[in-house]
Structure 1
């Protein structure tokens, strides 16, 4: 069973340094280099790697709580680091269930390699269940991937990229092929195309694969397209959705803190100079935000603990995971919106932390599973597929 420690890996002083740099990264549309170096120094990228592989051996539950705290300090930093944490979490889930196919990733992450998440493709709403990237089989059992991956966070820092593509030429084709390519491969380039509304420091640039080679010993799956019960699919979904929900829960937490501070700081001439903390409408908005925020954390912790403890939710796993993602991201948007209304016009200025949170939180709309896909998943679970 999981056992969350009361002592955080990311201490308050480190988080304050990270928070102090967030506005500058956002303003300059720059990668969070100093944050990254400090996180590496405390072993954060090895948090989910078991001790036997050179890691810290934390549970998913523990790392989720750390990601909430990091997300409250610098959402873009937390979101980008998430992608590496997802891969180490995937490898951990498989290893704990007797599947050694990603043990090499645990070894390499324990030794300091940084993993990027090269899955998303423009126009591919099938996500894991289809691909516009070509996966060409090679005589030695490896594959060459050709296509463009979008939203590859940690673009300036990852050293290895986990990716997938569609094999249409093998005798048993079509197959979705998952493998890992090296940054040093001549078929791997990245575009300097990350100039977005929010989450700017993540530098989630597009990655172009032009025959990028993955050797046979780094090809981890060949799966039929479409929904698949394979353990890799579960491992990716569970770690991605839970860790993503943690980041946005942190955004909501910080927005609530800023709203409370603003309510105490602002005064009303109409009320004779009294603090807005005494205004019944402002009090209602803050209470509404707090009630919403309090409802997410227990769900987040519970599902992370269930992954750690290998609880079998059967066919309900996927509805629960996509439901958590939707609730966490939409809840964070609601809390940030209430915080803006409490804080007044000052939050509309570009340098406002709350204004930046408002821009950052909008990214939650676009992460898989989106609202349409999530509702389809849940409807299928309860009603069966459309006939």
Structure 2
């Protein structure tokens, strides 16, 4: 059986062809970074050399200007090699894609940051989650504060789950503007005094994302570093579909591992490889149907977003449902792949045990399953 790949057109598009090449290299390195709980510097050096940090930068600012669909296809492909690298990169690329789409940053801040991405290969991410307030998807104001002083701002607070924290050049930090109930997003240069990282990340999943704590201790920034303020109901964020795209890529890698094993493993109790047994065929059939469904749900949602922009304000529940369907299905795929391989999949040398641990993280990326189901239920009940 032919190896499953995210996109059949990968060999016709230079970017995806290079991504496929890098994903194989990343796969070879994945165990090392996972076992040692390290940020994958080599992978990001390769991504920088390929110019991939600028994939979602608009063309007028020197980037590739990938569409949402192209971005997700790329993410899925990179994730077949290393999910942690893909998820981390996706935060950087997604933030840029969203800002370019919404055009809600003040002045020329977006253009200037894009130029830095293209020319200086800077790495950035959002810093929104806090251990006290939890995920931003559950609402509530951040405890991180922004106080106006001398025409600028002073930031104090701690952000958790800040992927790539040890390698970031800039963060987009959410903070409550002192004396108000207004939340702002601020651009923070990590070279500034008072910006630091506490390496608290010690999980069993997505270890190489290095999602450590970012702390801000009386960090002085300029007035124009307030990029925008948040008002009203948050608008749907399509770029966040990079989350299910990444876990779909991990599931695809698990599927390919199971197929390869089934094609080559011939126990003494059988006349040939286990691929000839009905039970293995049934499990691979289940896996491929799960992946088939995932891709249709994910890219169907993307196509609707891109082709019917007038429907975007009402698409929040559909985006959340897509994340729910794909991440849960990805977990089922990895489970089935491990059942095909059997106890060997539990070996520390097997990539399946890493895929199993990593794919679990998708269930905890926001929005959480309970919120998705309750909101869909409320909508259905009227």
Q: TM-score scaled to structure 1, two decimals?
A: 0.88
The C-alpha deviation readout for 1:86-107, integer Å capped at 9, x for no partner, is: 2111112124999976344333
Q: 1:7 aligns with which of 10, 13, 16?
A: 13
After superposition, residues 233-252 of structure 1 pair within 5 angstroms as: 233-234=235-236, 237-240=237-240, 242-252=241-251
How many pairs were matched up? 369
- Give the Cα–Cα distance (whole angstroms) in 2 for the partners of residues 165 and 276 of structure 1: 56
1:91/1:105 contact within 8 Å kept? no
Q: State the match for 1:90 in structure 2.
A: 98
Q: State the match for 1:119 in structure 2.
A: 128
CA shift at 1:55, angstroms? 0.7
What SS does the aligned partner of 2:158 have?
Answer: strand
> Structure 1: which 4+ aligned runs deviate by more than 6 Å?
96-101
The C-alpha deviation readout for 1:169-222, integer Å capped at 9, x for no partner, is: 1xxx21111111110122211012222202111111111122333422121222
CA shift at 1:298, angstroms? 2.3
CA shift at 1:266, angstroms? 2.2
Q: State the match for 2:168 in structure 1.
A: 158
Give the RMSD, CA atoms, in angstroms.
2.4
Structure 1 unaligned segments of length 5 or more: list them.
none
What SS does the aligned partner of 1:133 have?
Answer: coil
2:23/2:79 contact within 8 Å kept? no
Q: 1:185 aligns with which of 185, 192, 204?
A: 192
Task: Sort the Cα spacing of 1:135 and 1:96 in 2 relative to 1 into closer, same or farther, 3 A.
Answer: closer
1:71/1:251 contact within 8 Å kept? yes
Structure 2 unaligned segments of length 5 or more: list them.
1-8
After superposition, residues 1-387 of structure 1 pair within 5 angstroms as: 6-10=12-16, 11=18, 12-95=20-103, 102-111=110-119, 112-125=121-134, 127-128=136-137, 129-140=139-150, 142-169=152-179, 173-224=180-231, 228-229=232-233, 233-234=235-236, 237-240=237-240, 242-270=241-269, 272-309=270-307, 311-314=309-312, 316-384=314-382
- Give the Cα–Cα distance (whole angstroms) in 2 for the partners of residues 194 and 126 of structure 1: 17
1:64/1:304 contact within 8 Å kept? no
